[in-house]
Structure 1
């Protein structure tokens, strides 16, 4: 289950200071593509459960934190390794493509 990011300290602890991989989901409650991605995210969480920690940041509730990522659209998924950004996926993806893109970012970011 994804950890909700609700403060700068929480972001620091769960993303920037975390060892290994973290996938941060920048989303909004009103965003239809974000809603449609939910089952895909659940699938990815299960598939990568031993490799990636998952976090969520609601961009309207946490606007100041969301601004740190200079997103051009939502959903945006930012993948980190040991606190450093190694890749982004912007927009809706079907399940297989989403999982493949995550795997490719991990492979290229090692």
Structure 2
């Protein structure tokens, strides 16, 4: 299951995580985001215990979207030790996302 991220839980859930974190920036009206959604959900089940998979709704969390300069969605950011180590724009396969996550 993916974790819904807000500005209130971002620090504890993403920046302070001991595991790698994949954050999917998305919006309900975005067709490519709807295509990526099930891929991200499936990956979340596979990497449970190894990594955190989270989602940020850019319409509801515009402050986070602005903070990370999200210009296109879907954008996936990979965090390790509180830092962005990879950025992926657009729909990708589960294998590509898992490889980027490093698990």
User: Into which bin does the TM-score normalised by the smaller protein fall?
Assistant: 0.7 to 0.9
TM-score by length of 2: 0.88
Q: CA RMSD in A?
A: 1.7
The correspondence of residues 18-37 of structure 1 with structure 2, limited to 5 A, is 18-37=17-36
Instruction: Report the equivalent of 1:81.
Output: 80
Instruction: Report the equivalent of 1:55.
Output: 54
Instruction: State how far apart, in whole Å, the 2-side matches of 1:105 and 1:45 are.
Output: 11
Relative contact order, higher structure (CA 8 A, sep 6+): 2
Instruction: State how far apart, in whole Å, the 1-side matches of 2:55 and 2:39 are.
Output: 14
Instruction: State how far apart, in whole Å, the 2-side matches of 1:101 and 1:30 are.
Output: 22
Instruction: Report the equivalent of 1:15.
Output: 14
Q: What are the ranges of 5 or more consecutive residues in structure 1 without an aligned counterpart? A: none
Q: What are the ranges of 5 or more consecutive residues in structure 2 without an aligned counterpart? A: none
Q: Does 1:4 align with 2:4?
A: yes
Instruction: State how far apart, in whole Å, the 2-side matches of 1:67 and 1:53 are.
Output: 22
Cα 1:31–1:10 shift into 2, 3 Å: same
